[in-house]
Amino acid sequence: MNRLFKNFTIILIMINLVSCTTVKMTGRKQFNVVPNSQIFPASFAQYNGFLKTHEISKDANQVQRIKRIGNRLIKAVKTYYKSKGWEKDLSGYQWEVNLVKSPQMNAFCMPGGKIVYYDGLLKVTTTDAEIAAVMGHEISHALANHGAERMSMAYGQQLGAILTLLATRKASPEDQKKWMAIYGYGSQLGVMLPYSRTHEAEADKMGQILMAIAGYNPDTAAEVWVKMSKMGGQQPPEFLSTHPSNEHRMQNLRKWAPEAKKIAKQFGVNFDK
């Protein structure tokens, strides 16, 4: 059994080395076996299906506002990536911004650049900068290929389950069940949830940079979570959550804001005036 677990570890390390890419804006290494050429068409099809079942807002002023903020952020993405010579990373993106009529407080950016903002969220994000903070965060998930990375990690988790079954095939049914439970619990707490929290923190940091380059004060990002923390119920312990705690999130955003302002200044945006 020990030899099989050792082989399992070696296989995972080899897969990780072969499939390791880098999130350009943060430098974090990520495990990703799903290329954009595969995920974008599926994402666009899902987005088109979403629009068929969700009503686009008829509030012309708010629609225009959301599109204006979204387009400023998209321009910031293109400007920043061009300055770094990363234009190829945006190949295949089909940017689009829509405001959906829904009481839900939600927003997302699908792989490939399809951005949706729910008008229910406008009850909390009342200023342009607050909207930009949320939208910049969601755009950053797409830029960092977090969706593809989560798919890749799920594939790895499935592979781990198969290998655990193989490693315990000679064990009693009771012991095999115990090892599968240990693997499932351990992989969820030790791998999947921490990765989800990493994604959220990474999108927070990237989103602050993008909103700053777009001309929105990055200090606002922390204030959005001050509002959010006052609205939600009791949170689960952070280690059991897919998101960082509100307090941890606010601390990070306040810490990162000066760096976002410094980067924005390189593009002629100055918040010290």
Residue tagged active-site, from 138, 149, 200, 202: 138
Three-point CA angle 30, 33, 35, nearest 5°: 105
Q: Is the dihedral of CA 25, 27, 31, 32 positive or negative?
A: positive
Q: Which residues pair with 61 in a beta bridge?
A: none
197 token code pair: 């929290």
Three-point CA angle 227, 231, 233, nearest 5°: 135
Q: Evaluate whether 246 touches 256 at the Cβ level (below 8 Å).
A: no
Closest by Cα among 203, 264, 228 to 105: 228
Closest by Cα among 115, 96, 75 to 216: 75
Element (H, E) at 114: strand 114-118
Q: Evaluate whether 192 touches 240 at the Cβ level (below 8 Å).
A: no
108 token code pair: 């997302």
Alpha-carbon distance 37 to 202, whole Å? 23
Specify whether 138 is catalytic. Answer: yes
Which residues are the active-site residues?
A: 138
